A and B are shown apart, each in its own frame.
Chain A
């Protein structure tokens, strides 16, 4: 499946149809977002049943509360945000006395790799390992921000909304993540990583 960086089919139309008891619209939204949500959820936890449960309750809630829900500015953001909150609750990722917006104590397992057939040389494998090691040095929040930015192709505003932080906070978070990677990598590796990330985004 190709990453749905920007959903081509218009989710806002589906949402509108959903409000008018459009059963088909709910299914369309499922086909658009079930896999991206699952992929996102899998970064937080390895409990696949829990991820599926969260997706299920998300869509069921969407249907049962459709007449009360406001049309969100961005349907994908709305779903990712609600899904992330649901994952945190169901997986008990939040410690006591910890605010959802500020928590650092969770896992975000964003492994980076090349397609296997292209790892022909030891050097490339070594490069991949260096990049992965640098990502591992980041905090979960920083990794998540990188994932949302470069994998899901979201803007700082969107990242802020999903992660429950301010827009300013999301810029800061990303800047710290990039700084962290720069510290870990030498200049050529870092450039290469940036290249890879941006290339991913623009392709």
Chain B
């Protein structure tokens, strides 16, 4: 639809100006004559100079619709081209599928390997209840009997690490497999029992370790044993030696000839040689979990000697009460033994 031209230049709007063929002719084909004419027009009608500036601006902003790539697309496209052409293989290594596959495989192996390592190194713990004993065979073939109320811990890769190591709380009787044959002794040949602050190192022997009430007692049956007690010099034991380390008092007592009583528990027997009643009841508490309550304190001083079967707790208590001439009442609910003079 054609608009009616506004004939008075004083009231020209931009469309009026753009509709004026003379104006367009001037812009398209300016010559001296038209230049002079439009210069004169702008002087006469100052509003025109603004309109002419606007018209120029309008002309300059016309455009064909422009389609461009997003900056990310632009960069990615070049990288794809470069990847097929100019980029060195080393540059695109991290992007190559093979590298990714190898990397993924390596990471997977590392994860599995680490997991397997920790699996091998996982801690295995054997625990016994009150009144219960257990016989174990360790991965290296060593045998041990774990007394009641005790725990033994060792690593899953036992025997493949540098030492054969176990951690003991309570009491155990060890028959350590002798791996070392002759010549130089390697770490793998050594079996170590960690009992609190005491390390017991052996090659292959039979011995008992009791780690209760802050005392570690080692009774050597045969073979040789080295005891590393805290910061003390290494102590070498001979068969029949009985060494007790009192951790509270930092005191070492070495006495020969009384190992039999120490290891009798593994045969289900208690052997006491002039043992004060207080210590006897401590042993019973350690093994059976019943705490002794002395109604008559004098009983503590009584000494007991003899061999008692540990197979049945009630029978054991009966035997002890007869030997010491006392009365022992078992309180099941409080796990106590009430001790009185008859």
B74 near A111 with CB under 8 A, answer: no
Give A109 to B17 CA distance when docked, in angstroms: 30
Across the interface, B85 reaches (CB within 8 A) one of A41, A63, A121, namely A63
B21 near A38 with CB under 8 A, answer: no
User: Is residue B341 contacting chain A, with contact meaning CB distance below 8 A?
Assistant: no
Give the Cβ gap from B92 to chain A, nearest Cβ, in Å: 13
* A contact residues around B60 at 8 Å (CB): 199-200, 203
Instruction: List CB contacts (< 8 Å) of B17-44 with chain A.
Output: 18-21, 24-25, 27-28
Across the interface, A35 reaches (CB within 8 A) one of B20, B69, B81, B84, namely B69
Known contacts A59-B85, A111-B64, A191-B28, A121 near B78 by CB under 8 Å: no
* B contact residues around A194 at 8 Å (CB): 28
A114 near B2 with CB under 8 A, answer: no
Known contacts A114-B61, A200-B62, A52 near B28 by CB under 8 Å: no
* A contact residues around B82 at 8 Å (CB): 26-27
* B contact residues around A56 at 8 Å (CB): 77, 80-81, 84
* A contact residues around B84 at 8 Å (CB): 56, 60, 63
Give the Cβ gap from A45 to chain B, nearest Cβ, in Å: 10
Give A174 to B69 CA distance when docked, in angstroms: 29
Across the interface, B24 reaches (CB within 8 A) one of A113, A150, A192, namely A192
A111 near B65 with CB under 8 A, answer: yes
Interface footprint category on B:
35 or more
User: Is residue B4 contacting chain A, with contact meaning CB distance below 8 A?
Assistant: no
B64 near A112 with CB under 8 A, answer: yes
B73 near A52 with CB under 8 A, answer: yes
Tally of contact residues, A, Cβ under 8 A: 46
How many pairs, one residue from A and one from B, have CB atoms within 8 Å of each other in the complex? 113
Known contacts A147-B64, A199-B59, A52 near B69 by CB under 8 Å: yes
B interface: dominant SS: helix
Known contacts A124-B15, A188-B24, A59 near B62 by CB under 8 Å: no
* B contact residues around A151 at 8 Å (CB): 64
Instruction: List CB contacts (< 8 Å) of A35-49 with chain B.
Output: 35, 38-39, 41-43
User: Is residue B295 contacting chain A, with contact meaning CB distance below 8 A?
Assistant: no
Give the Cβ gap from A187 to chain B, nearest Cβ, in Å: 6
B65 near A110 with CB under 8 A, answer: yes
* A contact residues around B24 at 8 Å (CB): 188, 191-192, 195
A42 near B85 with CB under 8 A, answer: no
* B contact residues around A79 at 8 Å (CB): none
Across the interface, A34 reaches (CB within 8 A) one of B27, B62, B69, namely B69
* B contact residues around A111 at 8 Å (CB): 64-65
Give A103 to B81 CA distance when docked, in angstroms: 31
Give A198 to B18 CA distance when docked, in angstroms: 15
* A contact residues around B21 at 8 Å (CB): 187-188, 191
Give A60 to B74 CA distance when docked, in angstroms: 15
The contact string, 1 if C-beta is below 8 Å from chain B, for chain A 163-203, is 00000000000000000000000111001101110111001
Give the Cβ gap from B314 to chain A, nearest Cβ, in Å: 89
User: Is residue A13 contacting chain B, with contact meaning CB distance below 8 A?
Assistant: no
Known contacts A188-B19, A192-B18, A52 near B61 by CB under 8 Å: no
* B contact residues around A55 at 8 Å (CB): 77, 81
Least CB separation from B88: chain A residue: A23
Give the Cβ gap from B189 to chain A, nearest Cβ, in Å: 64
Across the interface, B61 reaches (CB within 8 A) one of A38, A43, A118, A147, namely A118
A34 near B77 with CB under 8 A, answer: yes
Known contacts A188-B18, A188-B19, A39 near B66 by CB under 8 Å: yes
Give the Cβ gap from B89 to chain A, nearest Cβ, in Å: 13
A195 near B65 with CB under 8 A, answer: no
Residue ranges of B at the interface with A (Cβ–Cβ < 8 Å): 2-3, 13-15, 18-21, 24-25, 27-28, 57-69, 73-74, 77-78, 80-82, 84-86
Q: Known pairs A59-B85, A115-B63; list 16 more (Cβ under 8 Å).
A: A1-B68, A26-B85, A38-B69, A56-B80, A60-B84, A112-B65, A113-B62, A114-B58, A123-B3, A123-B13, A188-B18, A192-B24, A195-B27, A198-B28, A199-B59, A200-B60
Residue ranges of A at the interface with B (Cβ–Cβ < 8 Å): 1, 3, 23, 26-27, 30, 34-35, 38-39, 41-43, 52, 55-56, 59-60, 63-64, 110-115, 118, 121, 123-124, 127, 147, 150-151, 186-188, 191-192, 194-196, 198-200, 203
